[in-house]
Amino acid sequence: MSLLEVDAINTYYGDSHILFDVSLQVEEGEVVALLGRNGSGKTTTMHTIMGVVAPRSGDVRFAGESVAGLPPFAIANRGVQLVPDSRRIVKTITVEQNLELAAFSAPRPWPIERIYEMFPRLAQRKKSMGRSLSGGEQQMLAIARALIRDARLLLLDEPFEGLAPLIVRDLVETTRRLAAEGRTILIVEQNVRAVLLLASRCYVLSKGRIVWEGTSAALQAQPDLMHRYLGV
């Protein structure tokens, strides 16, 4: 039994059919990448897993239990945490208050010191308002809010988008550390080169359908496929 099993989901926005029989699996302790061009359905897949939108058919199972159709808070309480591409930190409170707010309803929250050890920059900015943070600092805080809730499965949606190369390097190293600690991660990312340093396996989406799956090494060995579906 995989930790996450997505089984032939079909997801719609109104009358628009976005995902077509999408299936994927993520094993506990694995880092898996979901790749594709803009508009291919990656974020919709993440939102379906998280319960932001319910699949019209198919199933999503987490730790062997169906979560399809449950509200996001119920899925979060089971140990799934989404870091959205918009980050969505609370900009009118401090860094530390953002973390405290995320931890408040968590069944087993991390000590805040553990977060500051992983993100020293957040410790330096803990009394700063969310709106004063740089893009990279906001992304660190968004990931930290998910981690403080002791995420068993971390869904990262475009974590490196729009960030300076040095910040991307730091976040890649942080994600590697999480993976080395056994954290299970499903990551959506346009920066294919960066994500292939992290993921052991990949799924490629095109027009709402899975068109390829395999190891990162196998994907890198097929430059024609990468160019066709990823523009690399």
Q: What's residue 85's pLDDT?
A: 83
Q: What's residue 1's pLDDT?
A: 76
Averaged confidence pLDDT in the chain = 93
Q: For the chain, list the domains and their CATH numbers.
A: 4-79+152-230 (3.40.50.300), 92-149 (no CATH)
Q: What's residue 216's pLDDT?
A: 95
CB neighbours of residue 27 within 10 Å: 14
Q: What's residue 202's pLDDT?
A: 96
The confidence band for 232, taking pLDDT boundaries of 50, 70 and 90, is low
Alpha helices per DSSP H over the chain: 42-50, 72-77, 95-104, 112-118, 120-124, 135-147, 165-180, 192-196, 216-220, 223-230
Q: What's residue 212's pLDDT?
A: 97
Least confident of 12-21, 76-85, 165-174: 165-174
**Residue predicted with more confidence, 106 or 40:** 40
For the entire predicted model, the pTM comes to 0.92
* Nearest alpha-carbon partner for 75 in 41, 46, 103, 112: 46
Which pLDDT tens digit goes with each residue over 169-213? 888 888 888 888 888 999 998 889 889 988 999 999 999 999 999
Which pLDDT tens digit goes with each residue over 78-94? 999 999 888 889 999 99
